[in-house]
Amino acid sequence: MTTRGAPGSCNPLLVGVDTGGTFTDFVAFDGEHLRVAKIASTPSAPERAVTDGLGRLAIVETNLVHGSTVATNALLEGHHAVTAYVTNEGLTDVLTIGRQARQELYALEPAPRKIPVASELCLAVDQRSDAYGREVTPLGEASLAALRQRLAELEPEAVAINLLYSFFDDRAERRLAEALAPDYFVSRSSAVLAEYKEYERGITTWINASLGPRVGRYLDRLRSAVGEFSVMHSAAGTMSVARARERAVDMLLSGPAAGLVGARFVGRLADRERLLTFDMGGTSTDVALIDGDIPLTSNGEIGGFPVAVPMVDMHTLGAGGGSLARVDAGGLLAVGPSSAGADPGPACYGRGGTEATVTDANMVLGRLPASTRLGGEAALDLAAAQKAIDSVAQQLGTDRMAAAEGVLAVVNEAMAGGLRVMSVQRGEDPRERTLLCFGGAGGLHVCALADTLGMTRAMVPVHAGVLSALGMLVARRSREMSRSVLEAASTLSDSQIDAWLENLRTQGEAELRAEGVEASAITASASLDMRYQGQSAALNISWWDMAQAQTDFHAAHERQNGHRLDEPVEIVTVRMSLAGPELALALPQRAESSESVDAEERVAVHGCEDRVPVYARDTLPAGWRTDGPAIVRDAVATIWLAPGWACETDAYGNLLLTSLRNQSTVG
């Protein structure tokens, strides 16, 4: 099997592949038609699920875009390479000390913090620069020789280099990297994150180094199986395999980032650009806000570690279709974050799972009909789901249906809490937005979550069960470039800012051109991280000129914090975002029809007096409308339209949901 070209080229077949913890999703586009597939992931060898899925779709030659959880799972599970951390003398304990922020403020015996790098692997060299990047003590040959000798004794697989103020002058880090690269996988902070804050820069560089060998081996195995391909990165764009091998840290949110690209794409088709999104898969749920553009953050956190490279701004919680239900020591029902994963999966998958999951609860209640085929193919096992829920019911001292309802109530409240974090806690009224759900499990919970938040509009996009894979088809090749400058705005001219930004632009354009993007097709936007002098937090402001940037900063500070200060403004970091062209992906449209649509079947759903119709989504014409209760399903997802909700299909097959109960609550 071979692949060729870069995203945006006119090749016969473009395929997006999203490898999740439970399922691996596929969307193939031949220029006119889409084909989708969903198969079980193979966590022990993720590339096997990719090749199996391509074989199932009979794809031989393709332009492949891939998103993977390999980097994320390795970080969360601690399966990373033994990595040495090299820094300046006197600073070897920076990663251990961290920010001294206690997670449990009032606990008398707090749980010990996770130490990223063992003390014996934290090594020092005698180099030192001052706060302006001017070298005070050059890197000595004796110090370099001693470092190499110590590394030979420790035998790490990777080395992370993080020297003070290397974002101003990276020559010492480059010298170290050149000396060590023949023997180790090396990451230097000046290449991974050329920004201030030595702790965050150090952790991010260590993550990149420690994940690099494992991620690189996976990418190499996949490349030998399918040929060249592109990789989705955490800032909602794509990069080459060569880049991904060097920048494993940029893959931590590759799948979720693609989901937001897909959500923005289908939202625009439906003329709904102010979105509150939730992506509910088998293992976790990701929540985000979209206002036309996809917001990025440099203050992310994964697995308890700060990750300061740009990534999509979202909130993740351990709630998915495979989340396990249990009764804790106090007799209370809890759901997640543990998951049944892909193997064995929920009990109803019939693969040997015995513990109750959210999917089992939906099936027991009838919202996931017993006739549904897993991934469009494998039969589900209702008896196994009932037995699993019965186990929870017995521990709670209640009946089967009450236990299943309890499982859904607990997981829905957890997800509603995540939606509030991204909306209410940021001063955004969710009732003014459309709740857009995707992921294999999202459609079964969308009405309940919208009701909880008082929202009247929701949307289940076409191909919602594989929307992250669809997003990969329209993601642009991109780069996020940055450099900390730490200068008072009053001392800087527009020309100085422009010069810094031009250097970033030149570097980013060279990288994109090397990956096949035409220079004339690259677009760029500049911004500054700004703050009042003395503050630690900065706001990102679009760059036009210094006067406008300061005006915009004062307004943004007042909007976010309720006040502005009469204090000098500081420019912390300059940023340049660059991207190649978008793929002109035209989804097929459906014709309208005045003929009624027959239900595939009618099923019993707990809480509904009459049997509920089940519709095949592929048969629904544009303009089709029905009131709940109803069930709509396709090959990769099922949607529960609850009583009190109406549904209408648009020209692309998106399901536009409207509450019949809460409309009076929103002006």
pLDDT digits (tens, 9 = 90+) for 528-576: 999 999 999 999 999 999 999 999 999 999 988 889 999 999 999 999 9
Is pLDDT of 341 > 70?
yes
Number of Cβ atoms within 10 Å of the Cβ of 577: 21
- For residues 635, 640, 645 and 651, what is the CA-based torsion angle, rounded to 10 degrees? -10
Query: What's residue 106's pLDDT?
Result: 86
Classify residue 46 by its DSSP letter. H
> Is the CB of residue 315 less than 8 Å from the CB of residue 418?
yes
Is the pLDDT at 585 greater than 80, yes or no? yes
Average pLDDT over residues 25-31: 89
CA distance 6 to 10: 9
Report d(CA 536, CA 618) in Å as an integer. 52
Could you tell me where in the chain the CATH 3.30.420.40 domains are found? 2-75+216-251
| Predicted pLDDT at 338 | 84
Q: Which residues contact 357 (CB under 8 A, 6 or more apart)?
A: 321, 322, 323, 324, 325, 339, 340, 346, 347, 388
Q: What string of H, E and C letters represents the secondary structure of 392-461? A: HHHHHCCCHHHHHHHHHHHHHHHHHHHHHHHCHHHCCCHHHCEEEEECCCHHHCHHHHHHHHCCCEEEEC
How much of the chain, in percent, has pLDDT values that exceed 70? 97
Q: Residue 205 pLDDT more than 90?
A: yes
In this predicted model, which residue has the larger pLDDT, 486 or 22?
Answer: 486
User: What pLDDT, on a 0 to 100 scale, did the predictor assign at position 622?
Assistant: 94
User: Is domain 474-579 annotated with CATH 3.30.70?
Assistant: no
pLDDT per residue over 65-85, tens digit each? 999 988 988 888 888 899 999
Residues 6+ apart with CB under 8 A from 121: 82, 83, 84, 85, 154, 156
Cβ distance 650 to 621 under 8 Å?
no
Give 22's pLDDT tier (boundaries 50, 70, 90).
confident
% of the chain with per-residue pLDDT over 90: 74
Interior CA angle at 302 toward 301 and 305, to 5°? 70
Mean pLDDT of 165-170: 95
Whether the per-residue pLDDT at 658 is higher than 60: the answer is yes
The predicted pLDDT at position 202 comes to: 97
* Between residues 99 and 413, the one the model is more confident about: 413
Q: Do 110 and 102 touch, CB atoms closer than 8 A?
A: yes
Average pLDDT over residues 513-525: 95
Residue type, 87: T
Helix (H) or strand (E) holding 285: strand 285-291
C-alpha to C-alpha distances, 520 to 99, 240, 477, 478, 511, nearest whole angstrom = 44, 20, 14, 14, 14
- Cα-Cα end-to-end distance for the chain: 55
Query: DSSP character for 352?
Result: S
Average pLDDT in the 173-182 region?
96
Distance CA 7, CA 643 (A): 43
User: What per-residue confidence (pLDDT) applies to 110?
Assistant: 80
pLDDT confidence bin for 663, thresholds 50/70/90: low
pLDDT (tens digit per residue) in 106-137:
888 887 778 899 999 999 999 999 999 999 99
Q: What average pLDDT does this structure show over 596-603?
A: 93
SS3 category, 601? strand
pLDDT at 665: 41
Residue 557 to residue 563: CA distance in whole angstroms: 7
CA dist., res. 503 & res. 53, Å (int): 42
Start-end ranges of CATH 3.30.1490 in the chain?
474-579
pLDDT bucket at 607, cuts 50 / 70 / 90: very high
CATH of domain 2-75+216-251: 3.30.420.40
* CATH code at 82-208: 3.40.50
Backbone phi, psi, residue 150, to 5°: -65, -40
Mean of pLDDT over the chain: 91
Backbone angles phi and psi of 302, in degrees to 5? -135, 125
Q: What is residue 387's predicted lDDT score, i.e. its pLDDT?
A: 96
Check residue 561 and give its pLDDT.
87
CB 528 within 8 A of CB 600: no
State the pTM of this model: 0.90
pLDDT for the residue numbered 664: 44
pLDDT at residue 62 in the model: 81
Examine the pLDDT at 337 and tell me if it is beyond 50. Answer: yes
Annotate 381-402 with three-state secondary structure. CHHHHHHHHHHHHHHHCCCHHH
Which pLDDT belongs to residue 7? 42
pLDDT class of 5 with cuts at 50, 70, 90: very low
Band of pLDDT at residue 42, cut at 50, 70 and 90: confident
pLDDT, tens digit (0-9, with 9 covering 90-100), for 253-302: 999 999 999 999 999 999 999 999 999 988 889 999 999 889 999 998 88
Preceding amide of 213 cis, omega within 30:
no
Report pLDDT for 59. 82
Tell me which of 343 and 433 has the higher pLDDT: 433
Band (376; pLDDT cuts 50, 70, 90): low
- State residue 662's pLDDT score: 60
Domain with CATH 3.40.50 in the chain: 82-208
Q: Can you give the pLDDT at residue 666?
A: 40
pLDDT band at residue 439 using 50, 70 and 90 as cut-offs = confident
Beta-carbon contacts of 224 under 8 Å, excluding residues fewer than 6 positions away, are: none
Can you tell me the mean pLDDT for 515-537?
95
